[in-house]
């Protein structure tokens, strides 16, 4: 497959700040997956240009189980680094890696200039039955969070910065930090025994060094808002971004529910099945959901895009998160 198009000579040309911040108001961000063939790569470049043009807080790029999309994922991340002003976020999982292999991969992303990660435990690869070992040396997302911080600290333990008022003088400070996001599960992880276990797990991820959480899918705003309330009561302080996916067909909804383990939203399914324009129904549902989340205090919306720009931008425009001057025609 042809490489995803990139330009630029050096990752040093595209240093990005590690901290993500919502102090200026609600933000929005996007998730992409690496293209699987030349036609998909061409389509992604078109949609990515539209998504980048509206100024997202960050764009995350998924990573296939056991490194199946490693090179293409890195190509997309490099494209974001060299050709845009958007912060790229790399997905990493614990699946099938030794400590040495995981450390090498983390270093490869850092050397490319990537300073933001989404650390995931990961699901069993296709063909692995429930109960079979599949994780490798890293047993949890919290361990992966710690490893990312450790690799960064070993790679760049300190830097020299100027001393104000003393020309030519420099002092040594700790090296640059990385942003590490983790997953949150408003309706519980499929393998979790209780919501309390999910909250304990998320608290442990934060204690390990995670500084952002992104929720898995849900279909009702109260599911996310009540989860955040319980998370705060449990002592979790990091931002928890809601993940929203415009569902554009009944077939896609069935597939999403199958993969995520969420309960099937019956009314949404009926509306999609009976509509002359199912995509419009999915956009309307996602818009209502996003608006209720923002009204309830969410600091941003993270949109799962399926590598398309039309539905995510329609949702963001409808809830007022797009600056009309920057919205593509």
Domain of residue 155: give its range.
27-124+135-248+281-318
Count the neighbouring beta carbons within 10 Å of the beta carbon of residue 255.
12
Task: Tell whether 325 is covered by a domain.
Answer: no
Rounded CA-CA distance 203/205 in Å is: 5
Looking at residue 15, its pLDDT comes to 35
Rounded CA-CA distance 93/119 in Å is: 6
The total number of structural domains in the chain stands at 1
Looking at residue 188, its pLDDT comes to 86
Looking at residue 6, its pLDDT comes to 46
Rounded CA-CA distance 145/211 in Å is: 10
Nearest to 27 by CA among 52, 50, 58, 51: 58
Looking at residue 17, its pLDDT comes to 39
* Alpha carbon 138 to chain centroid, angstroms: 20
pLDDT by residue, tens only, the chain of 329 residues: 445 554 443 333 333 334 466 667 899 999 999 888 889 889 999 999 999 999 999 999 997 655 556 678 888 999 999 999 999 999 998 876 788 888 998 999 999 999 999 999 876 556 555 554 456 678 889 999 999 999 999 888 776 778 887 888 788 766 678 999 999 999 988 777 888 999 999 999 999 999 999 999 999 999 999 999 999 999 999 999 999 999 999 999 999 998 887 889 999 999 999 999 999 999 999 999 999 999 999 999 999 999 999 999 999 999 999 864 344 33
Task: Tell whether 56 is covered by a domain.
Answer: yes
Helix, strand, or coil (residue 304): strand
Q: Treating both helix axes as pointing N-terminal to C-terminal, what angle do 310-318 and 38-53 enclose, rounded to 10 degrees?
A: 20
Task: Tell whether 313 is covered by a domain.
Answer: yes
Rounded CA-CA distance 119/121 in Å is: 7
**Residue 68 has which token pair?**
């199946």
DSSP at 57 = S
Looking at residue 8, its pLDDT comes to 43
Looking at residue 295, its pLDDT comes to 97
Looking at residue 14, its pLDDT comes to 34
For the domain that residue 163 is a member of, what is the CATH number?
3.20.20.220
Rounded CA-CA distance 268/106 in Å is: 40
Task: Tell whether 165 is covered by a domain.
Answer: yes
Q: Which residues are designated catalytic?
A: 31
Looking at residue 114, its pLDDT comes to 93
Strands, sheet with 212-215, edge to edge from the N-terminal-most edge strand? 239-241, 212-215, 179-184, 116-120, 87-93, 58-61, 27-32, 300-304, 243-244
Q: Within 13 A of 114's CA, how many CA atoms are on the CB side?
A: 30
Task: Tell whether 178 is covered by a domain.
Answer: yes
Task: Tell whether 16 is covered by a domain.
Answer: no
Nearest to 30 by CA among 65, 60, 67, 63: 60
Nearest to 210 by CA among 146, 137, 300, 139: 146
Looking at residue 69, its pLDDT comes to 66
Task: Tell whether 129 is covered by a domain.
Answer: no
Task: Tell whether 198 is covered by a domain.
Answer: yes
**DSSP calls for 179-205:** EEEEEE-TT--TT-S-HHHHHHHHHHH
Q: Outline where DSSP puts E strands in the chain.
A: 27-32, 58-61, 87-93, 116-120, 158-162, 170-174, 179-184, 212-215, 239-241, 243-244, 300-304
């Amino acid at each position: 497959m042809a490489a995803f198009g990139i330009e630029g000579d050096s990752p040093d040309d595209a240093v990005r700040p590690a901290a993500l911040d919502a102090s200026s108001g609600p933000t929005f961000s996007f998730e992409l997956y690496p293209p699987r063939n030349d036609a998909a790569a061409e389509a992604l470049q078109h949609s990515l240009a539209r998504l980048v043009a509206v100024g997202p807080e960050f764009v995350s790029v998924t990573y296939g189980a056991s490194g199946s999309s490693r090179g293409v994922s890195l190509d997309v991340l490099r494209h974001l680094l060299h050709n845009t002003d958007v912060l790229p976020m790399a997905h990493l999982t614990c699946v099938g890696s030794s400590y040495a292999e995981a450390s090498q991969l983390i270093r490869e992303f850092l050397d490319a200039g990537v300073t933001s990660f989404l650390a995931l435990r990961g699901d069993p690869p296709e063909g692995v039955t429930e109960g079979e070992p599949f994780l490798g040396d890293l047993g949890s997302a919290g361990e992966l969070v710690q490893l990312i911080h450790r690799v960064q600290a070993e790679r760049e333990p300190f830097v020299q910065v100027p001393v104000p008022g003393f020309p030519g003088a420099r002092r040594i400070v700790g090296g640059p930090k990385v942003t590490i996001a983790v997953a949150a599960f408003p309706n519980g992880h499929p393998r979790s025994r209780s919501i309390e276990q999910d909250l304990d797990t998320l608290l442990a991820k934060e204690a390990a060094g995670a500084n952002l959480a992104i929720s898995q899918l849900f279909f009702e705003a109260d599911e996310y808002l009540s989860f955040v309330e319980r998370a705060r009561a449990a002592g979790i302080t990091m931002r928890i971004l809601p993940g929203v996916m415009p569902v554009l067909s009944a077939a896609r909804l069935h597939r999403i529910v199958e993969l995520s383990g969420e309960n099937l939203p019956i009314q949404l399914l009926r509306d999609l099945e009976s509509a002359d324009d199912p995509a419009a129904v999915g956009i309307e549902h996602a818009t209502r959901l996003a608006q209720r989340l923002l009204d309830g205090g969410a600091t941003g919306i993270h949109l799962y895009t399926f590598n398309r720009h039309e539905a995510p931008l329609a949702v963001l425009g409808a809830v007022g998160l797009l600056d009309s001057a920057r919205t593509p025609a």
